[in-house]
Chains A and B, each alone.
Chain A
Amino acid sequence: MVSPEPISFFGQVDRSTGVICDEKHPLYGESVSGKVLILPRGKGSTVGSYVLYGLAKRGKAPSAIICLEAEPIIAVGAIIAGIPMVDKPESYVFKTGMFVKVYADRGVIEVPGL
């Protein structure tokens, strides 16, 4: 799932369901759960890190995160939640619905068929 805009996990994502609950966000109503979430960067309160932790506890977290720009809220959230995350991809080929493999331990993203 590609988000064209940054996401504040505190306030813009429902803590219990993983659904984007801010009407002003272009992905309003969509769930981040079980998807490789690709976003420009995180924003907002550092409490957003804890929201990612809570989503992971409930099995509602993204299965992996790709951040175009490294940023502490998402990075810390991914660490404490144990969500695989990579940042600064070398090229931008992502579209919503595409299948990608993320190897966070090696910092590698694979796009089969590309």
Chain B
Amino acid sequence: MYLTRHEERILKGEEGYARQKAMEILVALGEIYEADRLIPVSSAQIAGVSYTSLGDDGIEWLESLEGAHVTIPAVLNPAGMDLENWRRMGVDPEYARKQIRIIEAYKRLGVRPLCSCTPYLLGMVPMLGEHVAWSESSAVCYANSVLGARTNREGGPSALASAIIGKTPNYGYHLDENRKAGLIIEVEVELKTISDYSALGYWAGKLAESNVPYFKGLKGVDSVRLKALGAGLGAGGSVALYHVEGVTPEHKTALVERVERHQFGEVELGEVYTNYFKPIPDRVDLAAIGCPHASLDEVKEVAELVKGRRIKDDSRLWVFTSIAVKRMAERCGYLDIIRAAGGEVYADGCMALAPLKDMGIERVAVNSSKAAFYTRLLAKVDAYFGDLRQCIESVIGR
């Protein structure tokens, strides 16, 4: 990989330990993936934030970078809790102390303490062809597919390295040739709810693995539905880019050669709910909405469904979102409606990363295939998948 003289000097350690380590990471990745050079990126979204995933080892590594500073706008992945209202969530103070230590370490590096898998709802909106270094798989999918920006699926350390240096190795989804469709998915069933898009994403992700799917037959899509579709794709497989015929910005140049076709119909849709996941039972400990982090419209929908109703005393309704959307929901009055019903809107956090078991939560209803997959895997609780209405009904008292 070609390095400029300045990049060489950073690599030799002439600009300090942290910048040297960051450059070593970028160079190692560049060599593994045979990049020709480093290219500038305009923003970073950094994974490795929740204490659940980072652990004490990760804290030590972050603190060892003391003195370095990011050179581009950089935000964080969700944390294990709401950074302000963790007590109300029921998070153990010791866990909270460690989580806050992580956020403080990032702040000292100049990273914005905004924890979300939806940076594009925080005003970080790269344009068509713009190169970025984002980590969280649904955010990566959204950037590449909906915005037409370009990012690989960065790991925590590599996104942080890019934030510090302001560059990334030029390989993978940064290159035109890797942005073409590898399979076609013909959608032959009407998708009614956002969770149906999430289900399609999961099914197609399993099929596509790390390939680029091209969807035909999707009608009435909007940004919220595409957010759900991308999250499913990133969880069912490791898809980083998809195209939707007539909708996404690069669909016209995506089909270059004959690729295999698959059909997604009524049967396939039903199977995602019943075979891949468990349907929502009558009672759960928690209904968790907001994977990926809820948009303002999604918070409003929850408010409308619970208005004038009451959540059972032994159940919880939590909506996860970014601090930006939470503040807007507060201004619009949605937060008050949800609270009056006994629910809560939490910023910064994520149902899959929260220490649910320690809070006595065993059964969780979600309207996202990604949340169903990771809540079981990471939070190690029983997860049930259905649409928003079913999630809410499972925690509402009769």
Contact = CB atoms under 8 A, between A and B. Distances in A.
B29 A15 contact: no
A45 B60 contact: no
A21 to B, nearest CB: 15
Interface in A99-113: none
Contact of B53 (A47, A70, A76, A80): A47
Interface string B16-49: 0000010011001101100000000000000110
Nearest to A55: B57
Given A71-B32, A72-B29, A79-B28, A45 B53 contact: yes
B386 interface: no
Contact of B25 (A53, A54, A55, A76): A76
Interface residues of A, number: 19
Interface in B34-75: 47-48, 53-58, 60-61
Q: Which has the most chain B C-beta neighbours within 10 Å: A49, A55, A73?
A: A49
B157 A49 contact: yes
A76 B158 contact: yes
Main secondary structure of the interface of B (DSSP, over half): helix
A54 B55 contact: yes
B60 A57 contact: yes
Main secondary structure of the interface of A (DSSP, over half): helix
A76 B31 CA distance: 12
Contact of A47 (B29, B31, B48, B158): B48
Contact of A50 (B25, B31, B55, B158): B55
Interface in A41-61: 45-47, 49-51, 53-55, 57
Interface string A73-84: 101100110000
Given A72-B158, A79-B21, A80-B21, A46 B48 contact: yes
Contacts of A47: 48, 53-55, 58, 156
Q: Which has the most chain B C-beta neighbours within 10 Å: A45, A47, A57, A75?
A: A47
B157 A76 contact: yes
Contact of A54 (B29, B60, B155): B60
Given A53-B60, A76-B25, A15 B31 contact: no
A47 B49 CA distance: 10
B140 to A, nearest CB: 13
Contact of B56 (A46, A54, A79): A54
B61 A75 contact: no
Contact of B57 (A15, A45, A46, A71): A15
Contacts of B28: 72, 75-76, 79
A50 B29 contact: no
B47 to A, nearest CB: 7
Nearest to B56: A54
A105 B229 CA distance: 45
Given A47-B54, A54-B56, A70-B31, A80 B156 contact: no
16 contacts: A46-B47, A46-B158, A47-B55, A47-B58, A50-B58, A50-B157, A54-B57, A57-B60, A70-B32, A71-B32, A72-B32, A75-B29, A76-B25, A76-B29, A76-B158, A79-B25
Which 5 pairs, one residue from A and one from B, show the smallest C-beta to C-beta distance? A54-B57, A46-B155, A50-B58, A70-B32, A50-B57
Interface of A: 15, 45-47, 49-51, 53-55, 57, 70-73, 75-76, 79-80
Interface of B: 21, 24-25, 28-29, 31-32, 47-48, 53-58, 60-61, 155-158
Given A50-B55, A53-B57, A75-B32, 7 more contacts: A46-B157, A53-B58, A55-B57, A75-B28, A76-B28, A76-B155, A79-B24
